[in-house]
Structure 1
Amino acid sequence: ASPAPGLPGGQGGQGGPGGGGRSQAPDQQQPQQPPSEDGYVTDVMSGVSLPVPDGWKGQSATIGASVSTGTYTCPADTSQKCERGGVFAAPAQALKITARTAEAAAKADIAVNAKESYGGKAYGAISSHQELKSEPVSVAGQKGYLVRWKVVTKKGDDGYVQSLVLPSPHSADMLVVVRSGFDISSKAPALSVMDEITKGIKAASGTGSGSGQTA
């Protein structure tokens, strides 16, 4: 998958698809990092925290948070960096999503997520996709909705992409988007890890009135 896009107000990451965190040195800590719990990264504006699986790298920011397995050279464009697995959270508004409900937003975002994760030059574009899931879910104590696709790429590994949308635990009027992209490869994390990360998302502590309990 291509790394998460950079967002205005985020720390690290260059703007545009596939730009997130590409310029950062490994394990380099940004100054004035938002508060995070051990084992989690936090998107402060969204009010959610993502679990960081063992061996993964995580990054918190005022707008946006991400976890990743690390980068490798993209199969179709060796000048770009791709990820075996990555999950990225941000407010829907920051991603220019105008849908008002979690279901509508997830259904609208999945194609954008697929294109930014596996389309374009990095994997030689997407040949086809298959919908694996489209269902309501309970995440961070909120009623959300997720859509998951399997995509076939023209070059390199195929992939799984997932768009999960839920109301912010700290602001019912705000929708939060959690995008996941996993390569389908023996070198990539298993699809079950995507489920584990989804289940482990929780309300961020210290950024509002949320209880921090998981669904």
Structure 2
Amino acid sequence: MTPPPGWYPDPSAPHQERWWDGSAWTEHRRVPGAAGYAAPQAPPPSPLPPYAGGPGQRRPAGGTGRAKAVALTTAAAVLVAAIVSGVLLLGEDDGGAPEAQTPTVSSPATDPAPVSTAPTSSPPPSGPSADDPAVVEDPLNGITFPLPDGWVRPRYVAEDDVMMTTDGTYDCPGDGGVCRHGLVISRTVTGKAESSPKTLAEQDIEDAADDAYDRDPAGGKLFGGIESHERVGAGPVAVAGRAGYYVRWRVTTAKGPGGYVQSLVFPSTVGTESPVLVRYVFDAGEEGPPLATMDEITDGIRPVGDADTGGGVGSGIGPTD
């Protein structure tokens, strides 16, 4: 029910009263309790359209704190108007004529403290991420490699089977180009009837040395070519719970300090268990990575999804020098 015409607290200025004509607010205002203010007749045109809502009707959501106070005040006014209307109805039931009543001015409502309805953010769950920054995965062969300090995932490397490199590059001492002090390559051995890890490692070590220090794929000699090599290690080794074999050479080049190459072969833990070949290329000299890092990487190779199955079966890696 719409409140009857009368003086009510002004929604835009609760300290004064405004005339409600029964359907809309007019521009007539007065000080609360002032006498001699009769009901206005024809309200003058307003330069701004009055708020369409009447006493007890709330403004649209999203207003300011003042709008909330106005809404609460008008709600109180509606309650007062309902009480007055009830008294008038009771007077008519008693047979008496209704008296003109002025709605009592209620005290302005206190604007309540705003209550935030925004959801509270909870901290993300702790624990390792799906992409462990300290692990590099070779999904084709079903293994992961530990990423030692000072090593990074391959960036701007042409070969797609490089698992990691040392951080940073330098100018090659031979025919020019960009070199890295260390890299690790992982690939599947295919096209060979031989499956013995020892035989495959023995067959691969010379190719590993040539590819790393003799000639690049374009025919350039980044280190001036290989002058000699020395076998510095070989033997069985357990890799990801499988019996493998490694061979390591010390390579002397025409330019630069030379380096170390290692061919490591072991059966894959997935699919047809095809042999996996891992090549290590480490520059010699002060700038090259420690040879112990070869052993660290080999010992940390794991089957994908298995953090416990590592080395330990069979012989460990032999002397590094």
TM over 0.5: yes
Q: Partners in 2 of 1:188 and 1:97 — Cα distance?
A: 33
- Map 1:38-187; keep pairs closer than 5 Å: 38-59=133-154, 64-69=161-166, 70-78=168-176, 80-93=177-190, 99-120=194-215, 121-171=221-271, 173-187=273-287
Gaps of 5+ in 1: 1-34
- Cα drift, residue 38 of structure 1: 3.2
Distance 1:64 1:36, change over 3 A: farther
Q: Work out the CA distance in 2 between the residues paired with 1:201 and 1:178.
A: 11
After superposition, the C-alpha distances for 1:57-106 in whole angstroms (9 at most, x for unaligned) are 1249xx7351111322111022x22111111111112xx65532111111
Instruction: Please tell me the residue identity of whatever aligns with 1:127.
Output: E
More strand by share: 1
CA contact (8 A) 1:51 1:201 kept: yes
TM-score, normalization by structure 1: 0.74
Counterpart CA distance in 2 for 1:115 and 1:170 is 30
CA distance in 2, matches of 1:119, 1:99: 26
Count the aligned residue pairs.
172
Q: 1:170 to 1:50 in 2, by over 3 A?
A: same
Q: Is the 8 A contact 2:261 2:279 kept in 1?
A: yes
Q: Is the 8 A contact 1:64 1:91 kept in 2?
A: no
Change (3 A) 1:36 1:77: farther
**Distance in 2 between the 1:194 and 1:155 partners?**
24
Check 1:82–1:214 CA distance in 2 against 1; reply closer, same or farther (3 A cut): same
Bigger relative CO (Cα 8 Å, ≥ 6 apart): 1
Q: Would you say the 8 A contact 1:149–1:161 is kept in 2?
A: yes
TM-score relative to the length of structure 2: 0.50
Which amino acid in the other structure matches residue 263 of structure 2? S
Which amino acid in the other structure matches residue 188 of structure 1? Answer: G
Q: Do structure 1's residue 190 and structure 2's residue 290 form an aligned pair?
A: yes
Residue identity opposite 1:160 in structure 2 = Y
Q: What is the distance in 2 between the residues matched to 1:172 and 1:166?
A: 13
Give the C-alpha shift of residue 203 in structure 1: 1.1
Identity of aligned residues (%): 38
Partner Cα distance (1:134, 1:199) in 2:
15
CA distance in 2, matches of 1:119, 1:142: 32
Alpha carbons of 1:125 and 1:99: their partners in 2 closer, same or farther (altered >3 Å)? farther
SS of alignment partner, residue 173 of structure 1: coil
Offset from partner CA, 1:112-140 (integer Å, 9 cap, x none): 00001111201111111111112110011
- The equivalent of 2:5 in structure 1 is none
Match of 1:204 among 304, 313, 316: 304
CA distance in 2, matches of 1:48, 1:64: 13
- Cα RMSD for the two superposed structures: 2.0
- 1:25-36 counterparts in 2 under 5 A? 36=131
